[in-house]
Each structure stands twice: as C-alpha cells, then as structure tokens.
Amino acid sequence: MSTLSPTRRTGPRRPPHPAPLLALGAVWAGAAGVLALWWTDTASVVGPADWLTGAGRITGLLAGYACAVLVALMARIPLLDHSLGTDRLARWHAHGGRYTLSLVLAHTLLIIWGYTLTSHSGVVDETTTLVLDYPDMLKATAGFLLLVGTGIVSARAARRRMSYETWHYLHFATYLAVFLAFGHQLSNGADFVGRRPAQLAWYALYGAVAALILWYRFVVPVHRALRHRLRVADVHPEAPGVVSVRLTGERLTELGARPGQFFRWRFLAPGLRWTAAPYSLSAPPLPHELRITVKAAGGHSAAMARLRPGTRVWAEGPYGAFTAKRRSPEKVLLLAGGVGITPLRALFETLPGEVTLLYRAHRPEDLALRGELDAIAAARGAAVHYSVSEPAAHSTPLTARALSRLVPDLAAHEVYLCGPPGMAEAARRALRGAGVPRRHIHHESFEF
C-alpha cells in the first residue's frame, strides 16, 4: 500500500457543465409557452369567481405540461442520460413529481371552487356535475386518483417499506393516469376548445413523449436482446451475500458501454423476468463479455446467486454519466462504500492519470473484489486504502482531516463517490470541508 506525496493543483479548473442549465432552460421555456396560452385567451379577470377559475386554468395547464416533462425525464433518452446522469434525472423526476401533484390538487380545488361561485351552487353538487356531466371527466377523475395514489407510494416514508420490485410496478400507474387525464384537457380546457393550433401543439407534445417512451423503453431493449443474445456464463461468490455474474453475448461493443455505467438487467428466470433492476458493470466491458457484481439486498438481488449458466438476459442501457468523461484534473480519488465498489472497480482499472482508491466496508470479509483491486493497484502503481468498521483500529473516519491525511492535496482531486446514502452524504460533507469543489464530486446513486 502506498501513499501519494503532496503536490500542487495541476491543470485548469473547468467551468460547470452547461447541460443541466440548458435542460432546465428548455423546461422553463416550455412552461412559459404554456402560460402564454392562458394569457392570449384571457381578456380580463373580474371578481373572485374569475380569479379562482383563472388560477385553476393556469395550474391545470402547468400540471398537464409537467406530466409530459415527468414522463420524458424517465424515458431513458441516451442524450439526456449520458450528459446529465441518471441519478440527476431521477432527482429531477422526484422533485417534479411533488410539484406536479401539488399543481393537480390546486387545479382540482380551484376549478371546483371557482365554478361553485359562478353557478351559486354547493361544492358537492358542483363536483358531482363536473365529474358526471362534463366530457371525459370520469376518466380524468380516475387518473387523478391514480396519480395521487402513486404520489403516496412514492413518498420517502412509504418507499422505505416496500421492495424495489413492488415500487417499480406501482410506478407504472403514472402512465395510465396521464393517459386517462389527457382527454379532459382538450374537451373542457378553455384554452384549447375551439383553438386548433393549441390542440395540435398539445397532441404533438404528448405524442413526442409517447414515441420516446415506446422507442427507448420497449423497441430498443427488444432489438438489443435479439441482436446481442446475452446469457449468464457463470456466477461467482465474492463476499458474504455478494456475487459476480459474468455474461457473454455477441457484438457487445455496439452497446457503447463505458466503465462506470450500468444497465437495467432483466433475467429470464423464475422470479426475475418481470423486473429490470439496475446493476453497474464491475469490470471494463469486453467485445463478448460483461460482468456485474451484486449484493443481496432484496428479493431480486438475492435471487442472483441462484442464476444458472445459459439463462437468457435482456439488458437496457448503458446508462449514467459516471464515466471518465467527467474527469478533468490529472489526480482522481475513487471513494467506495460497500457494494458501491462495483462501478469504481471498473474505473480504477481504466482511468488515466494518478488514481487513489479508498474502499470502506463493515468487516474485512465484506471487501468484495479485493484481490482484483490489489492486482490493479500493483499493475498501475496506484494507491489503494481499505477501511472497515470492525475492528475499529482499521477504520478511517469520513472527516475532512482524515481524508486529507490519507490523500495529500485532496482539493486538487476529482472524486468519484459511490456507496450507501448515509455514507455518501458524510463523504460529500467531508470532501467539501477539505476544499474539493462541488462540481468535482461525482456521485452515483440508485435511489430511484
């Protein structure tokens, strides 16, 4: 085990990547265009009923637009995924989901309230009239209930209580909710009725999103499954509860996978075929071979140890921007916790420049792939440090001082970080305290 000697910062510090700002700018520009529909169609607003109904129209327009954006964020579009990163898209989707649900609730309440004041009727009577007498409102009500239900099961407290597989299936209700609610926007929306250009623009927006979902979520995976013919070659234990799965196939270079990326894997075996779960490549991709390393943390991952050679596999991807493209300085720190070592092991072998690896686990026997890591470190003359919680004498605390002692000139390093949420958050605070710029800390997360 070696330790790097202190050096000064090398190379220019690059500016923030423009992709997030460009993407957010496009989203907000679309929202401004949607608001223009209301502005151009509203001559005046007079009295409480008009104000409430107008606010209901605005929140409805924004909710409809936000639903399309939410679905597009999870369409797995390679251009977005490889430039923004899957974890960033997932965070935007989660935040946008709460924003969208708030808009939907506000739209519903404001419209009912505004219509009640206009017709001088009771809330219950007006709600009944809206649902039963207005076109497409029964379907929209069903979509509303589905969307609220999906929001509830996606809340952090509820999400912790269910398996990834259950959450994954329930989340598909979002598509059905959007489909059911679409018709009432054009049938009843004052900004669309009798305005053919606005209707065509709305059809184009939703049609484009539907085409992206169909293409990237269904057509591309089926085509790649037939073309590359991936199969399980063997399953090898690496640590308690951790196995590596080696897969072989044809023309795998066409996938364009890079170290640090992941696929969503669908194993055509009992109990696994209906879920596509995300696992990182734990070794650089080869022309006829890929490898993943998985820790048993749920029903899907635990079943991986029972896979048989020859099992057919569908792979969706590659996904993620956790690659060498993010690297700028010559010096890199790879910081792994637990099974978070998997993408970092592939990067440890392939990243150019001066690379240091810090791998944290609970016990020495939990250090998966340790033999490979030692061999890579010896071959490239890199530093690798292991830290375990038990025994405590071999633990390196995640503090700015401890990391700076272990990795001299830490502030001059690019950092790739992958591990459990608590460990990752503590590491981010320590790295920022040690002077590492925020944009040089790259975090991979599967908290979808």
Digit-coded pLDDT (tens) for 369-413: 999 999 999 999 999 999 988 876 667 788 999 999 999 889 989
Distance CA 293, CA 343 (A): 9
Q: Which of 248, 402, 368 is nearest to 296 (CA)?
A: 368
Q: Which of 279, 238, 282 is nearest to 259 (CA)?
A: 282
Write down the pLDDT at residue 446: 56
Q: Tell me which residues of the chain have a pLDDT lower than 50.
A: 1-13, 448
The residue assigned the tokens 């710029």 is: 437
Write down the pLDDT at residue 7: 34
Strands laid side by side in the 262-267 sheet: 277-280, 262-267, 312-319, 230-239, 242-248, 289-295
Check residue 329 and report its DSSP letter: S
Residues in the chain: 448
Distance CA 266, CA 277 (A): 7
Write down the pLDDT at residue 370: 93
420 by Cβ neighbours in 10 Å (0-12 / 13-18 / 19+) ranks as: middle
pLDDT in tens, 274-296: 888 889 999 999 999 999 999 98
Q: Which of 335, 356, 368, 369 is nearest to 442 (CA)?
A: 335
Compute how many other C-beta atoms are within 10 angstroms of the C-beta atom of residue 418: 27
Write down the pLDDT at residue 108: 94
What is the separation, in whole angstroms, between the first and last Cα of the chain? Answer: 36
- Gyration radius from the chain CA atoms: 26
Write down the pLDDT at residue 447: 53
Write down the pLDDT at residue 44: 76
229 by Cβ neighbours in 10 Å (0-12 / 13-18 / 19+) ranks as: middle
Report helix angle 137-154 to 123-133, nearest 10: 110
Q: Which of 265, 319, 66, 321 is nearest to 178 (CA)?
A: 66
Asked if 274 contacts 316 with a C-beta cutoff of 8 angstroms, the reply is no
Whether the bond into 318 is cis, omega within 30 of 0: yes
For residue 77, give both structure tokens. Answer: 């579009």
The phi-psi region of residue 260 (left if phi > 0; otherwise alpha if psi is between -120 and 50; otherwise beta) is left
Q: Which of 294, 333, 346, 342 is nearest to 415 (CA)?
A: 333
The residue assigned the tokens 């700028």 is: 328
Pairing verdict, β 383-388 and 262-267: unpaired
Write down the pLDDT at residue 8: 37
For residue 60, give both structure tokens. Answer: 């409805």
Q: Which of 188, 174, 198 is nearest to 131 (CA)?
A: 188
Instruction: Indicate the SS3 state at residue 233.
Output: strand
Distance CA 388, CA 394 (A): 6
pLDDT in tens, 317-329: 899 888 888 777 6
Write down the pLDDT at residue 284: 95
Distance CA 122, CA 56 (A): 18
